[in-house]
């Protein structure tokens, strides 16, 4: 009999908790790290995460701790499920605690502000590990549906296909179907850009606009992600897969999406401050719209929807004015 795979999941928020459940259901031994002792205690004593999923019973294979060293001990996979902008600081503390051969897994869908780096790049830099030790899980995976064990597919990406296959096996359950990919760049860009487009669609929904607008934003948003991906060496086909179109459709259709909901509130006329005040969880696109726009500029790629979201979210441009400007851009062929 082989020993169970051990996973340390850093982050007891929505996706960390839900993915811990997936790993435990797939047979892994899971230690969930969180900052707050009372939440760790609640997970251990009630087998629920009352702050994020009250009433949802967590599998017995999950244990929680606030001690990062304890979580890291013996981990085959170190799964990172915290906000993208805090990764660099957090990982600097955790990386020295990890076993030398642990694979670091990013669940995060953001781009670092200031450096415009993808999460796997930050991980490689901070933990000083080669690309073959870093994997990404992405796709249409709204955490609330995952903890209800509703069927979903995902992509597990690593430059080393054998590592992607190991992680695939570690998180494959009857309700969670991971596919492998070696296109880490495409998978990460798909996840980061969809959050920005989710904001745009939410804004349009909040303004009372209909499905033609939504279909147009999703499709042109996908074109933006694909253009950026091509410029950065990604496989364009990744964007028509789960990490691209799949996640765009889920995020842009769902009231469960924090990015979509954030945009809807802005589109209804709430200010940025009011919207932030009512948003209890991480809406990555709010910060990452700026870093995605930065990345696009660095690569000379035109991303007008992304730029429009930056204008609305960070420069207070009224959504109606921004939309009119977007529609008034010079005419061009669909493909170029
Ligand atoms: N919730 C979802 O459905 C999905 C989320 N994601 C991605 O997963 C990542 C995490 O998102 P969620 O779990 O949803 O967010 P969340 O807001 O539900 O949880 C974030 C967790 O990080 C912790 N945290 C916040 N600031 C921290 C800091 N400075 N140091 C250490 N821990 C800190 C919080 O206490 C919380 O436990 C994001 O990049 C998101 O895009 C990806 C797929 C699905
Ligand atoms: O990434 C997600 C679904 O795949 C979650 O979307 P939100 O972060 O917008 O909630």
Domain coordinates of the chain in residue numbers? 6-182, 185-327
Q: pLDDT at residue 1 above 80?
A: no
Q: What would the pLDDT profile of 253-265 be if each residue is shown by its tens digit?
A: 999 999 999 999 9
Look at residue 269 and tell me whether its pLDDT is greater than 90: yes
Q: Exposure of 151 by Cβ count < 10 A (0-12 exposed, 13-18 middle, 19+ buried)?
A: exposed
pLDDT over threshold 80, residue 100 = yes
Q: Which atom of ligand 2 is nearest to the CA of 195?
A: 9
pLDDT of residue 335: 85
State how far the Cα of 202 lies from the Cα of 270, in Å rounded to an integer: 13
Q: At what angle do helices 285-298 and 211-231 cross, to 10 degrees?
A: 50
Average pLDDT over residues 21-34: 98
* pTM greater than the 0.95 cutoff: yes
| Spacing of C-alpha 114 from chain mean position | 19
Contacts of residue 4, Cβ cutoff 8 Å, sequence gap at least 6: 27, 28, 29
Report the nearest-CA residue for atom 43 of ligand 1. 141
- In the prediction, which pLDDT does 2 show? 79
The Cα–Cα gap between 80 and 136 comes to 10
Q: Does the annotation place 325 within a ligand binding site?
A: no
Active site members: 194
Digit-coded pLDDT (tens) for 47-73: 999 999 999 999 999 999 999 999 999
State which of 8, 9, 11 you would mutate to test the pocket of ligand 1, scoring each by most atoms of that ligand within 8 A of its C-beta.
11
Does 241 appear as a known binding residue? no
Decide if pLDDT at 336 tops 80. Answer: no
Proportion of the chain above pLDDT 90, given as a percent: 98
CA 185 – ligand 2 centroid, Å: 18
Architecture of domain 185-327: Orthogonal Bundle (1.10)
Ligand 1 atom nearest the C-alpha of 15 is 13
Q: Which ligand is nearest to the CA of 283?
A: 2
Q: Which CATH superfamily is domain 6-182 in?
A: NAD(P)-binding Rossmann-like Domain (3.40.50.720)
Mind listing the pLDDT tens digit for each residue in 158-210? 999 999 999 999 999 999 999 999 999 999 999 999 999 999 999 999 999 99
Would the CB of 9 count as within 6 Å of ligand 1? no
- Which ligand sits closest to the CA of 107? 1
Q: What ipTM did this prediction achieve?
A: 0.99
Q: Report the first-to-last Cα separation within the chain, whole angstroms.
A: 55
**Alpha carbon nearest to ligand 1 atom 38, residue:** 108
Percent of residues, the chain, with pLDDT higher than 70: 100
d(CA 214, CA 231): 26
R_g of the chain, CA atoms, integer Å = 19
Quick one: average pLDDT of 114-123? 98
Q: To test ligand 1's pocket by mutation, which of 22, 82, 140, 189 has the most ligand atoms within 8 angstroms of CB?
A: 82
Total residue length of the chain: 336
Per residue in 274-330, pLDDT (tens digit) is 999 999 999 999 999 999 999 999 999 999 999 999 999 999 999 999 999 999 999
pLDDT band at residue 3 under the 50/70/90 scheme: confident
Is the Cβ–Cβ distance between 157 and 131 less than 8 Å?
A: no
Indicate if the pLDDT at residue 120 is higher than 90: yes
Residue whose Cα lies nearest atom 10 of ligand 2: it is 257
Ligand nearest to the CA of 14: 1
Q: Degrees (nearest 5) of the Cα angle 133, 139, 142?
A: 120
| pLDDT beyond 90 at 138 | yes
**Candidate of 15, 218, 248, 251 to mutate for ligand 2, largest count of ligand atoms within 8 Å of Cβ:** 251
């Amino acid at each position: 009999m082989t020993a169970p795979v051990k996973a340390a999941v850093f982050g007891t928020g929505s996706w960390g908790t839900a993915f811990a459940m997936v790993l435990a259901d797939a047979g892994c031994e899971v230690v969930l790290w969180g900052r707050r002792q009372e939440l760790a205690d609640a997970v251990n004593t009630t087998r629920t995460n009352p702050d994020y999923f009250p009433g949802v019973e967590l599998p017995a294979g999950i244990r929680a701790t606030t001690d990062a060293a304890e979580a890291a001990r013996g981990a085959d996979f170190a799964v990172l499920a915290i906000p993208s902008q805090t990764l660099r600081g957090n990982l600097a503390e955790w990386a020295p605690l990890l076993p030398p051969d642990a694979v670091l897994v990013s669940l995060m869908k953001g781009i670092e502000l200031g450096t415009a780096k993808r999460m796997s790049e930050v991980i490689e830099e901070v933990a000083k590990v080669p690309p073959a030790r870093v994997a990404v899980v992405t796709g249409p995976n709204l955490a609330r549906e995952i903890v209800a064990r509703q069927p979903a597919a995902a992509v597990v990406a690593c430059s080393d296909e054998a590592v992607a296959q190991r992680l695939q096996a570690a998180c494959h359950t009857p309700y969670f179907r991971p596919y492998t990919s070696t296109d880490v760049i495409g998978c990460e860009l798909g996840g980061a850009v969809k959050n920005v487009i989710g904001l745009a669609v939410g804004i349009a929904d909040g303004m009372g606009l209909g499905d033609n607008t939504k279909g147009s934003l999703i499709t042109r948003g996908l074109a933006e992600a694909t253009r950026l991906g091509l410029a950065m060496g990604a496989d364009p086909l990744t964007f028509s897969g789960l990490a691209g179109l799949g996640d765009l459709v889920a995020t842009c259709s769902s009231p469960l999406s924090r990015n979509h909901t954030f945009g809807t509130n802005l589109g209804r006329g709430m200010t940025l401050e009011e919207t932030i005040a009512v948003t209890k969880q991480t809406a990555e696109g709010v910060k990452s719209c700026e870093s995605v726009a930065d990345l696009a500029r660095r690569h000379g790629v035109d991303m007008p929807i992304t730029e429009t979201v930056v204008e609305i979210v960070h420069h207070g441009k009224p959504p109606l004015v921004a939309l009119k400007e977007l529609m008034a851009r010079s005419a061009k062929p669909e493909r170029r």
